[in-house]
Structure 1
Amino acid sequence: MKLSNKEKNIAIFGATGHIAKNLIYYFSKNTEHKLFLFSRNKIKLQNFVSSITADKNIVYDYYENIPSQSFDIIINCIGISNPSDVSKYDYDILTLTERYDEIIIEYLKKNDSCLFLNFSSGVVYGDFSQPANDEFLPDLFLDDFSRDAYSLAKINSENKHRALPFLNIIDIRIFSFFSRFIDLNTSFFISELITFFRDFIHPYDLYHLISLCIKHSESNFVLDAYSTSPISKYDILEEFSNHYDLKYSFKSDLKIEHPTGFKEKYYSLSKKAKNIDYNPIYSSLETILGESHFLIFIL
């Protein structure tokens, strides 16, 4: 999907992150646009990029250069990539999120045509006994200090962004994400209960959603990301058992940790993204099976 006939300078912060790698993969296929990639680990970033594409139209940049650059779009992918690490870095999460959020906002104030795409999270809803929907408003109040630092950081960012309606800022709430570029040492799956329901947006559908947001760049709003349908953990295990002869068992005494809170039905029924013509192609099951195929047989 092409963004426009005009070349765009697209900055990606936190370019070695899980979501960022997928955006680099898809955006690099569109040679009309130049990617400015920011990461504290340049060697890791360069090794990844060289494994998926040529370096044409890619600039490895430094955060200190931001004020002097000319960006059409800034995509913020900075964050803690492993859920099991969230509880270890409570204060760091708050300060890290605030620091780079302020850097981008200050840039937007001086470059008001630039669009800021920020990845928020479904955790802002607070209650996951039922899926999120348009009638169930997110818990965007900061006086509940029982919430974990990750949730508070996302809530704080969303509140601040809506308080700046004159800036072009779009928050995309991600509920679950899985791709061939996942770090296999993370605990995205094994730390959850068998009864969970999750919605794994396909990497291409996320790229498509972002492309549509870019077409509505003179905007300030928030929307939920979603696939065509969520899936239960039990169904995921059954599919892998059928396709790959996976053997699994359940332990009733297993200690389960939920660093960002217990989330039984962690997906959204809100379809506000339809307002910008978003219609996902893939289901959660198709996403997991398709991306797993690359992990198992290709990568």
Structure 2
Amino acid sequence: MKHVAILGASSQIAKDMIRLMAQQEDTCMQLYVRDLVPVQQWLGQLGLGGRCTLHLYEAYGQHEHDAVINFVGVGDPQRAAWMGASIFGITQQYDDMVMAGLMQHPHRRYIFLSSGAAYGSTFLEPAGPKTQAAISINSLTPQEYYSVAKLYAECRHRAHPELAITDIRIFNCFSRTQDIAARFFITDIVRAIRDNTVLQTSPDYMVRDFMHPEDFHQLVNCILNGPRRNGPVDCYTLAPVDKPTLLEAMQLQFGLQYEFVGTAATVVNATGTKPHYYSLNRQAEALGYLPVYSSLDCVTKETASILGRDIF
């Protein structure tokens, strides 16, 4: 039986992982959160109480586990903007917690949820195997705080090559459990469809890669079940999607109404404007990861479920 600790278990991406991992008969989960009651209610609604134990963060380290996944972070760009410099302390606090445990239990595996933002805030072209992180060190802006926090954590992890630490760089995820009130471009689209309003968006071209929860779950299992390693992997799907294609598909399938107004400056970009925010890195192939969904598959399938039109 494999015992997996999950920090930040109340986040949307963590809940998707928990729901899928609960189907694994060989896995028990320890969930760590700041507030027990909402997660207890969620587990009860899904009938997952018997597959998990629930703990406050203060209890981390008191129960043996084979691996730990650190989901603690910011999932909403608006919240990232509000948090500002506090993102540094929060990221390090929970990373320190896990690292202290690894020092005592070096056999343990650690998966840290990093971000494509660790490369920097420009993305004038997609990330690739030779892409270097770009930080404006002499004129650091609040939009770069999130990037620097993730980059710093990754650097700390590489400084311990003897430990099995994998940093998963997430670019974009989307699922039927997404908080539709969050300020993402894709949630703006879904709200416009749901409310029968006209989406106002800038004409700026961009490309995004939306990962489906099942593909993310597959990637995590490839890391947990594969050889011990210390290094990053970038998330990717069968294919990214550009903005015109996405808008046209959502109009055709769901009746999205949209119009182009203003510029990218009018959009919430807490970590910087990124025209090509996706990766061409394929390190995960060596671990056996083979994505099932394209970005457009993910968005249309999960949007259909959100809107109650799940015909897939």
Pair in the same fold by TM > 0.5: yes
Q: Assess, with a 3 A threshold, how the Cα gap between structure 1 residues 15 and 193 changes in structure 2: closer, same or farther.
A: farther
Letter in 2 for 1:136: T
After the TM superposition, which of the residue ranges 84-93 and 276-285 deviates more from structure 2? 84-93
The amino acid across from 1:118 in the alignment is F
- Hey, what does 1:131 align to over in structure 2? 126
Deviations 1:68-96 (A, max 9, x none): 21011100111112111112112221100
Partner residue in 1 for 2:174:
178
CA–CA distance in structure 2, aligned partners of residues 68 and 54 of structure 1? 22
Within the alignment, does 1:47 sit opposite 2:41 as a pair? yes
Are the equivalent residues in 1 in contact too, given 2:127–2:279 (CA < 8 A)? yes
Maintained 8 Å contact 2:174/2:212 = yes
Q: Is the contact between residue 49 and residue 55 of structure 1 (CA under 8 Å) also seen in structure 2? A: yes
- The answer on 1:244 being equivalent to 2:238 is no
Instruction: State whether structure 2 residue 22 is matched by structure 1 residue 12.
Output: no
**Alignment correspondent of 2:32:** 38
CA 1:139–1:216: 2 relative to 1, 3 Å = farther
**Superposed displacement of residue 143, structure 1:** 6.8
Amino acid at match of 1:8: K
Q: 1:240 deviation in Å?
A: 1.4
Q: 2:268 aligns with which of 257, 266, 271?
A: 257
Structure 1 residue 192: deviation in Å? 7.1
Please tell me whether the aligned partners of residues 142 and 152 of structure 1 are also in contact (alpha carbons under 8 angstroms). no
**Partner SS state of residue 145, structure 1:** coil
CA contact (8 A) 2:176 2:305 kept: yes
Q: What amino acid is the match of 2:152?
A: N
The CA RMSD measured in Å over matched residues stands at 2.0
Structure-2 residue corresponding to 1:292:
303
- Mean alpha-carbon deviation: is it higher for 150-159 or for 134-143? 134-143
The equivalent of 1:168 in structure 2 is 164
Tell me whether 1:111 sits opposite 2:105 in the alignment.
yes
**Which one of the candidate residues 220, 228, 251 is aligned to 2:238?**
228
**1:64-143 paired onto structure 2 within 5 Å:** 64-126=58-120, 127-139=122-134
Q: Deviations over 1:92-147 (max 9, x none)?
A: 21100000000000001111111110111111212300011112223479776346
1:108 touches 1:167 (CA, 8 Å); kept in 2? yes
Q: Can you list the C-alpha shifts for 1:159-198, whole angstroms capped at 9, x where unaligned?
A: 0000011111000100111111111110111497441110
Correspondence 1:209-220 to 2 at 5 A: 209-216=219-226, 218-220=228-230
Distance 1:178 1:110 in 2: 36
Partners of 1:229 and 1:283 within 8 A in 2: yes
Name the CA shift for 1:66/1:231 in 2 (closer, same or farther; >3 Å): same
Tell me the TM-score normalized by structure 2.
0.89
Tell me how far apart the structure 2 counterparts of residues 187 and 167 of structure 1 sit (CA, whole Å). 36
8 Å contact from structure 2 (residues 71, 112) kept in 1: yes
Residue 49 of structure 1, CA deviation: 2.1
CA distance in structure 2 between the aligned counterparts of 1:102 and 1:120, rounded to whole angstroms = 15
Per the TM alignment, residue 246 of structure 1 is displaced from its structure 2 partner at its CA by 1.6
Instruction: Tell me the TM-score normalised to structure 1 length.
Output: 0.92
Whether 1:148 aligns to 2:159 is: no
SS at match of 1:78: coil
**What SS does the aligned partner of 1:297 have?**
coil
Question: Matched residue pairs, number?
Answer: 293
- In 2: Cα distance, 1:192 partner to 1:247 partner: 11
Cα contact 1:230–1:267 (8 A) shared by 2: yes
Alpha carbons 1:140, 1:159 under 8 Å: kept: no
> For residue 236 of structure 2, what is the amino acid of its counterpart?
Y
Runs (4 or more) in structure 1 with deviation over 3 Å come to 139-144, 190-194
Partner of 1:249: helix, strand, or coil?
Answer: strand
Match of 1:4 in 2: none
3-state SS of 2:60 partner: helix
Name structure 2 gaps, 5 residues minimum.
189-199
